[in-house]
Structure 1
Amino acid sequence: MKDTLASQLLKLTVLIKTTTSSQVNSYGTGFLVRKDGFIFLVTNKHVIEGSEKTYIKFFGQTDFVLISGQFVPSDDYDISIYFLNKVPDTVKCISEEFIPSEKDIEELDAIEDIIFIGYPTGLYDQYNHSPIVRKGITATPLSLDYENKSLFLIDASIFPGSSGSPVFRICSNNITITSRGMQKIVTHFLLLGIIAEGYIQGQKKEICLSPNIPAPPVIHRQMIDLGEVIKTKEIITLIENYINFHTTVETR
């Protein structure tokens, strides 16, 4: 596989497997972020909550690894982070260049192309131990807070297992001049957020207080290709709080 920025995105994700006391396995997605020399596994709180054991598999690794210790959850959003002492040489971490600034967000259009990477329904390339890439568009503008929260929606096929997937905006409009005077289009990516959940047909919340109102019809669980994404700034806030706390403790 050619070593490009796009190929490196595949190496950012981590397959998460959790087991319960009744030996039921569940799968979700996480991804790696490096900040100030710390490396974190980022995922959703609901991916690891209620699990008895948590295993992770990195890109290119044949085996799951049992991890111990506690995930640190966000108080306000469905995000948890886990500090990692080290990671295999086969993986990559999201660094500062992927993190959008407020100015970056303001300059985005109301509709943007996006990709997200993960393990829908636990599916992945088991021979090469590589995740699945999918694409879509933003369904609500990044510059707005959906329902007055640090969220936005994407129009994309979201399935169980996609929880925790990183969402990227594809930027391919930067042009540089090579030493031969030729134009070259440079592609880069911005981490827009983390997938939290998908929308299901017929699952809109309703309040039926009167017994005279007939029960709503039963509707099969059909995904409607809308996903809810927590914005990157909430991930960075949680990571910075962790770093600040542990840096302060160590300097006492």
Structure 2
Amino acid sequence: MVTPMEISRRSLIAGSVGSLLALSSSSAFAQTDKPLTEVPPVPVPKLTVTEQLLHATALIECTNAEGKVFSTGTGFFFSFLNHSGTAVQAIITNKHVIDKAADAFITLTAQKSDGNPDFGKTKRIKLSELVAAWLPHPDPKTDLIAAITGPGFKKLADAGERYMVATCDQSLIPSDDQLKELTPLEEILVVGYPDGISDTINNVPVLRRGITATPVYLDFRGDPFFLLDSAIFPGSSGSPVFLYNQGAWADRAGHLQFGSRAALIGVVFGVYNHATDGQIVMRPAPTQLTPMVQSLVPNNLGVCIKATKLLDFEPLLMKFGVKVPDGYVIRSRLSL
């Protein structure tokens, strides 16, 4: 089992990380202009939002004690306390993705000297060698875990290895007031690896469209969840869910707005199924690769944790002695 490691302030902080792209857009939700955190500086390619999203996730291949891959999931890159060139870098996924793994691997795409991806040139990295600490979300009902990767990425950068890593941060997560500006039905984009499927030659994930099935601004059945109308398959656990409109969208008043917007609104963790006896069952999105007898029928309703729950990791980092950068605003209401 992948277990939490001994945590120290030194193990959590990565002053800056090599080859780091900041995921950005013309989104109305962008709250601050955030600098790129790269050491040493490299040319930054002009990538579209969806091109950046190709490098915002990683396929997590979980291995057993014999080193055999037995399940897969999705992880995505996130920068906590990202301000003034410093951040705590992490990979976010679900607890259930890695809770039975002896170890796990991700594969990254190399970055050219001009900052563009070097498609076809990759490196498979063992997470036990990259991750400084595993931080489970403090709420047992919140199926999220953060793998702190800053020191590991800095070690790779110091060795001259540069990889395409596009990160999300607080500025892409809508506030409660911004969520209330949304309609019950919004277009979404899920980035991940359903059934472990990806372009293994170019190392890019699968982008899937869908819509919100319940209002994001409401807590589904009293929990910080919402539903999406999109097929969720093994390997989708941990996939980031983005509100994404390209070209135009309609606001609450029905007025057409031109441009593009993107926001991180959730993380896939579960799926609704109905059993052969008609009972409706919600369970974690499966991760197993091995065939099995399945008596549950998926109904294409995914269950997502609201992205605001990611912000709860920041008070947790503060508890371990990480200093909040001057001028950075903590938005989490979590009290530890």
| TM-score, normalization by structure 1 | 0.82
8 Å Cα contact 2:61-2:69 kept in structure 1: no
Q: 1:235 aligns with which of 305, 310, 319?
A: 310
Counterparts of 2:138 and 2:311 in 1: how far apart (Å)? 14
Counterparts of 1:54 and 1:163 in 2: how far apart (Å)? 15
Q: 1:192 aligns with which of 252, 265, 270?
A: 265
| 1:160-179 aligned within 5 A | 160-172=234-246, 173=248
AA in 2 matched with 1:15? L
8 Å Cα contact 2:95-2:145 kept in structure 1: yes
Q: SS where residue 71 of structure 2 aligns? A: strand
8 Å Cα contact 1:13-1:58 kept in structure 2: no
* Bigger mean CA deviation after superposition, 164-173 or 40-49: 164-173
Q: SS where residue 178 of structure 2 aligns? A: helix
Counterparts of 1:143 and 1:223 in 2: how far apart (Å)? 25
Counterparts of 1:105 and 1:31 in 2: how far apart (Å)? 22
Confirm whether residue 35 of structure 1 aligns to residue 68 of structure 2. no
> How far is 1:24 from its partner?
4.6
| Paired position in structure 1 for 2:100 | 50
Question: CA deviation digits over 1:88-136, x for unaligned, max 9?
Answer: 4412101333111111111110111111000111110011100000011
| Paired position in structure 2 for 1:66 | 126
Confirm whether residue 155 of structure 1 aligns to residue 229 of structure 2. yes
> How far is 1:199 from its partner?
1.7
* Percent pairwise identity: 33
> How far is 1:34 from its partner?
1.2
Counterparts of 1:21 and 1:168 in 2: how far apart (Å)? 35
| Paired position in structure 2 for 1:215 | none
In structure 2, stretches of 5+ residues that fail to align are 1-44, 82-86, 110-118, 155-161, 250-256, 282-292, 324-336
Counterparts of 1:82 and 1:167 in 2: how far apart (Å)? 19
| Paired position in structure 2 for 1:208 | none
| 1:1-252 aligned within 5 A | 3-21=47-65, 23-36=68-81, 37-59=87-109, 62-68=122-128, 69-76=132-139, 77-85=142-150, 86=153, 88-172=162-246, 173=248, 185-202=258-275, 204=280, 220-247=295-322
Say if 1:199 and 1:123 are closer, same or farther in 2 by CA, change over 3 A: same
8 Å Cα contact 1:201-1:219 kept in structure 2: no
8 Å Cα contact 2:137-2:312 kept in structure 1: no
8 Å Cα contact 1:5-1:188 kept in structure 2: no
Say if 1:17 and 1:169 are closer, same or farther in 2 by CA, change over 3 A: same
Counterparts of 1:133 and 1:237 in 2: how far apart (Å)? 27
Q: Alignment length, in residue pairs? A: 228
Q: CA RMSD in A?
A: 2.5
Counterparts of 2:194 and 2:77 in 1: how far apart (Å)? 18
| Paired position in structure 1 for 2:158 | none
Counterparts of 1:120 and 1:230 in 2: how far apart (Å)? 18
Q: SS where residue 321 of structure 2 aligns? A: helix
> How far is 1:185 from its partner?
4.1
Counterparts of 2:241 and 2:194 in 1: how far apart (Å)? 14
> How far is 1:246 from its partner?
3.0
> How far is 1:170 from its partner?
1.2
Say if 1:244 and 1:171 are closer, same or farther in 2 by CA, change over 3 A: farther
